[in-house]
A and B are shown apart, each in its own frame.
Chain A
Amino acid sequence: MKKNKGKPGSTAEKEFVFEFRAGKHNCVLKVPLKFPVQENISDLHGRLMLLHKIPCYIENELKTSLSNFIENETILDFDREAELALQRLTTGDVDVNQLTNAWTRSYVETTLEHARPEEPSWDEDFADVYHELIHSPASDTLLNLEHNYFVSISELISERDMEIKKLQERQAAEMDKVMHELGNTLSDQDVNTVASQHFDAQQVLENKWASELKQVTGIQKQEYQEWVIKLHQDLQKSNNSSKINEEIKVQPNQLSELADSGARMFEEQPQLEESFTIHLGAQLKTMHNLRLVRADVLDFCKHRRHGSSGAKLRRLQTALSLYSSSLCGLVLLVDNRVNSYSGIKRDFATVAKECTDFHFPCLEEQLEEVQQVVLYARAQRSSKQKDQPEIPRNGGDDKSKNVERNPSNILPGEFYISRHSNLSEVHVVFHLCVDDNVRSGNITARDPAIMGLRNILKVCCTHDITTVTVPLLLVHDMSEEMTIPWCLKRAELVFKCVKGFMMEMASWDGGISRTVQFLVPKSISEEMFYQLSNMLPQIFRVSSTLTLTSKH
């Protein structure tokens, strides 16, 4: 009898001996059995009967004796293993304290009964209150109030822009003058001094405005939250809520009329858009909606002022679903640094600051937190890699060098997530890191950017993000090298990969209907757009248009 060192799955072979009489013969049946017995005893019995041609009159006898044998031996095995474990404690092979601490930990961390009592979380309470209010008749009031705050911020911003512009004009004039005198009364050094003075003056002004904006947003946020809580309490106190509602409504309505007089900042852009309904799956099919949109990525974030009714509805829709289980996400392609200093990152930050976020920390704070988490993740990773050095990963060396250089930078395919309540159509923004590789024509389905898309869709599954907007060409702006064949090739790749991921998603979440919006840059031609919209149904096998006609 062999035995391993008490590992699960340790097997031991034991022999089952059964004696019976057949006529004048004494027969002995010996069966080696592997313990723990995995197979069905009835099957084993049936097989023995068949294999050894055992007479049927001892069928039942064999069955009882076989099952008794297995039962007894299994109990013996259990006993032996159990006592081995107890022995390890007495001999000191296993530390009692460590053992009981592990037990305590698993109870404390996983069961409500033993878990530490929850510290009340203000955020979540506010979430509940807000969710309730926005689904009540008070929603209109809330939106109006939010809008008023938005108006005052944008007034501030335009004031700031004006002042900065003035300063710049003045400085430009001054600089002109200086340049004029250059070589006459003033030297290069003087010019430099003036320039640096200008720069400093600009910095001071910008800082001043930044801090003022920050202060105003802080005040707004606090006021707003207090007001929401109070409104909720009031509503709860009095049952005839309608009366109170009327009172609240009057004031903001006046304000909103005021706001209406404000110029419309953003004219509706002529968007190109086409929608499709698809069914995915081999036998069981899930319906999804796809949309191909030609627009600027920030159009999904920018607020339009009240006035156009569509904007307000959109705003309400976003507010209603903020704490629900149908969120909207947007994929933003960024470089490898977590900040908002340049390019699309800065543009996005500008849009995000146009309106106070009454629910979540402002973008800067969120990014700071991300930076901390990135550092933590790197530390975790490297300690893990030290533990398991034998796993070679293709290109892993290359990457780790990169990381060693600056651990706070992120790699292509990785992404960080920010949450917003103040964008027009989006709650969640995935900042997906891509490198210059995406501009080249030859990326494959194994490209980090594509894998990043897959992970984004996975997060969408686990966190109920039912609408997600993806830049189809994996770029936000077009450039020279992006020819028509390049676009077609890229679009085909992304369509196909997303289709594959969506089919995979069905196994992650059990087939929930989703909306995926494919975004193409504004600068592509109409003709190109229609070429892409012709490609989509071929890859996704759109069926709806034809089924409609087939009904008589």
Chain B
Amino acid sequence: MLICRYHHILFIHCNEGSLSRSQCFVSGRMRPLRDAQLGAFTFFASALPHDVCGSNGLPLTPNSIKILGRFQILKTITHPRLCQYVDISRGKHERLIVVAEHFESSLRDFQKQGKTASPEKVLQIAFEVLEGLEFMNKHGMVHRALSAHNVLMDCKGNVKLAKFGLYHMTDHGADVDFPIGYPSYLAPEVIAQGSFHPSDPSHDEAPLPSGPKTDVWSLGVLLFELCAGRRLLQNIDISERLKFILTLGCMDDIVTVLAEEHGCLDTIKELPENVLELLRKCLTFLPSKRPTPAELLRDPVFSEVSCLYTPFQKPVSLFSSSLRCAHLELPEDISDLCKDDDEDYLSERAIDEVYHLWCLAGGDLEKELTIKEIIQSKPPICTLPNFVLEDGESFGQGRDRSFLLDDTTVTLSLCQLRNRLKDVAGEAYYPLLEDEQSSLPQSNSSNELSATVTLPLIIRERDTEYQLIRIILFDRLLKAYPYKKNLVWKEARVDIPPLVRGLAWAALLGIEGDIQAKYETIDKDTPIPTDRQIEVDIPRCHQYDELLSSPQGHIKFRRVLKAWVVSHPDLVYWQGLDSLCAPFLYLNFNNEALAYACMSAFIPKYLYNFFLKDNSHVIQEYLTVFSQMISFHDPELSNHLNEIGFIPDLYAIPWFLTMFTHVFPLHKIFHLWDTLLLGNSSFPFCIGVAILQQLRDRLLANGFNECILLFSDLPEIDIERCVRESINLFCWTPKSATYRQHAQPPKVAGDNGFGKTTTYYSSDYQDMPKTDLSREPLALCDLKAEVSPRISAEDLIDLCELSLTGPTKRTKAGKPKIVAVDIRSQEDFSRGHISGSINIPFSAAFSPDGELVQCPATGILQNYRGRVIVVISHAMKSAAMFAAHMVKVNFPRVCILDGGINKLKPTGILTVPSPQI
């Protein structure tokens, strides 16, 4: 803990000097854009054979979705020699568009000039390419598509490998029709293993995956071309080219043979010995004799070059045991960092952020590619088949040329985005976090921004400037997590930018520590009895989503779920856990450990003991409190539902067991949970009531059967309205009204980390210190018998602002208005009561048949309609009956004082009125 504090102190220092631009704070996020561009290229996944089912009887996953799932991991492969992958999107008809870091210049430029590269340059390029390859290999990937135009150069002339993930994401080329790699650069063993072509019936099996050494051969060819100043085997057709490569196996000295063939023996002979040696090593025919990239990198041929490079170190992630700022070095003169004034601030933002903003500013990938004529689509009417058999196989459809691969990368212009952001002041990019009052930057546009805050969430999420400011703010807050936890909470109440939602939720759930190590120690492989159920549930969970329906998504689902089941031996897997896992997995697709950690933190907070093997007592109590909440907030609806026997047990179990993830699509869950995570464990009740209220008219108009039908396929719910209304309901609910004896027991005090100030609404009732005035547990059958909730004496005192210390207590805004109704007889009332309470004896208010009697007292009651009405009596039974009568005649917000008047007697707050004359 001490260490943690220390490094946050350091962080504050950095802030003051606007120093946090320093790279060492990049925590698991992508690199800044800097001088790079965004590039996009497109290709088609192969179409599935018509009408084939998988082994589980479900339809096969389209290849484009498989690729999309496999692509995700590439976003985490960050290395200075590799072009950062940013995003992939699926278009119509299995089209995929990949967005990645891009540079305009490549080794192809060298070739076009027709000059030879200097030996030093060759060595530099070779070394840098190998650095990239080694890093990929460490992550189990092979490039396979190395060629001159895929080795890009940044403006400093350093190598950036492009398209390095194509072989990985297409499952070694199995999911696409085109071969991966370029004919001249293919290694002999790759050629020998054959090409797989779907229309070719003689090859039923895909060729074996290639190893890392195939790239070394391709690199050899590439370097040879650089040395020779011409392209290899350019003028002969493909099959001759491939045959030539295969015949090289019989040659002793491949480099010389190639040089002779291309008439550049002299140029090659003149090369320094280490370059020649490098070429020979790369162009070794037999794979077993050829070095791997890692071996070659440590080879003496690079002895002059290697000392110029420092090995790459992965930036430390937010959740790790090592120090995030350990390697921070401040320059002697801090002002050095603030020199460049007219800096391009946008390009200092991470690549994925820039891309996200580019999309918000109206960027459209398909349009960009269509303009450059990479996407050429024929009108669909021209490509219709003539004839279709009963099993769906179609005939008479010519091969469409627009489906051919054109892997040219198109640069995405940032002009529109820059133009959009030209008015954003420089300070906005580096907000100071010290000022707790206002976190929005004080610039010209701040007025505009504060106006934006009032707009609907959907609009805010599409507003480029607003998102820029919010992302920057959250990015900085999260980098300072857990020190800036309070500010994260504060800002999350405004909204959470979608781009950082995963980490923001983790912060709200209080995730800390080395979660990766913890996750790795959990055994996710050994079969357990739950496996079968998990296997059945996963292919049915949020499968409309591309990520979650991909095979990679399924694998990750399985691992996270198993990890949770294995690490919680006292709990079991209930159907619904899969849905609960879905949002976390979606947001942290590349970080299973974080998904697991979030889920493990979420469940005890909101679903304590819901996953017990015998969870009936927990759920029964929960549902009973829920039905009390319905009658508290909407007595008319409650009366109707009870009348037709449509009780929460019939519909609400999946709501609460999955915290609504089973009933809503992901994008709605995100907005719902953004608020849910800020509230306490009783907030879900309010969401439930808000959903019912949205369907109120239909429920009231229908009987049991229609209601069951209605809820079996829940109609569209306006989620923003639902959130707004549930917050309103929450504010009207006294905290103790949702007391549950099976709720999570209070946490041990003092583990509150960095002093998170708990507010009235975010803290749980259970977390409050327990006193005599708190609520006492109630047997389930007694609880079920009462229509209205009980509230504690504590709450009553707090809400009526009755306090022994006098009414000095600061009134909190948004506190519900309350009125206490004393139903004891007049004599009892005059002997002592709460000040401000009104006396309506039971017998005076209701006739024997439960109708409200017209009398002055009930008139007063009518005037207080809409306030929270607390019924106080001697015996709980009569109070409960009084409350039930009131609900019957549609009085909202009725509750009962737990323990009755006797609870209050020891407090000494009862007053005796001076006799009135």
Contact = CB atoms under 8 A, between A and B. Distances in A.
Interface string B539-582: 00011110000000000000000000000000000000000000
Contacts of B389: 377, 381, 414
A68 B195 CA distance: 31
7 contacts: A8-B205, A43-B525, A47-B523, A50-B521, A104-B242, A107-B183, A543-B716
A226 to B, nearest CB: 20
B383 A463 contact: yes
A79 B200 CA distance: 27
Interface of A: 6-8, 39, 42-47, 49-51, 74-75, 78-83, 85-86, 88-90, 94, 96-97, 99-115, 118, 123-124, 127, 131, 279, 281-285, 322-325, 327, 369-370, 373-374, 376-377, 380-381, 410-417, 419, 427-428, 448, 451-452, 454-456, 458-459, 462-465, 504, 506-507, 509-511, 541, 543, 546-547, 549-550
Contact of B386 (A7, A279, A417, A541): A417
B557 to A, nearest CB: 15
B168 to A, nearest CB: 14
Interface string B200-228: 10110111111111100000000000000
Contacts of B390: 411-414, 448, 451-452, 455
Interface size on B, as a range, is 35 or more
Contacts of B401: 115, 118
B191 interface: yes
B903 interface: no
Contacts, number: 265
B751 interface: no
Interface string B705-733: 00001000101100000000000000000
B193 interface: yes
A113 B401 CA distance: 12
Interchain residue pairs A-B with the least CB separation, the first 5: A78-B211, A82-B189, A413-B390, A110-B178, A100-B239
A410 B211 CA distance: 50
A463 B59 contact: no
B405 interface: yes
A43 B520 contact: yes
A103 B179 contact: yes
Interface stretch (B391-399, B609-617, B635-643): B391-399
Given A78-B210, A112-B405, A541-B713, A102 B197 contact: yes
Contact of A89 (B199, B246, B380, B388): B246
A11 to B, nearest CB: 13
Contact of B193 (A85, A112, A113, A380): A85
Contacts of A282: 713
Given A46-B523, A83-B286, A102 B208 contact: no
Contact of B191 (A100, A105, A131, A281): A100
Nearest to A510: B90
Chain B binding surface, main DSSP class = loop
Contact of A417 (B59, B387, B524): B387
B334 to A, nearest CB: 38
B404 A79 contact: no
Given A106-B179, A115-B404, A284-B665, A46 B521 contact: yes
A111 B716 contact: no
B697 interface: yes
B644 interface: no
B396 A373 contact: yes
Interface of B: 59, 90, 92-93, 177-179, 183, 188-189, 191-197, 199-200, 202-203, 205-214, 237-240, 242-243, 246, 249, 286-288, 292, 378-396, 399, 401, 404-406, 520-526, 542-545, 662-666, 694-698, 709, 713, 715-716
Given A102-B197, A323-B381, A462-B93, A377 B387 contact: yes
Contacts of B195: 102-103, 106
B249 A86 contact: yes
B178 A82 contact: no
Contacts of B713: 282, 541
A158 B864 CA distance: 83
A536 B424 CA distance: 54
A110 B246 contact: no
A453 to B, nearest CB: 11
Interface centre among A46, A110, A322, A415 (most CB of B within 10 A): A110
Given A39-B525, A455-B392, A103 B239 contact: yes
Contacts of A7: 205
Contact of A547 (B196, B212, B715): B715
A86 B192 contact: yes
Nearest to A509: B92
Contacts of A50: 521, 523
Contacts of B520: 42-43, 45-46
Nearest to A451: B390
Contacts of B709: 541
Given A45-B520, A88-B192, A103-B242, A459 B178 contact: no
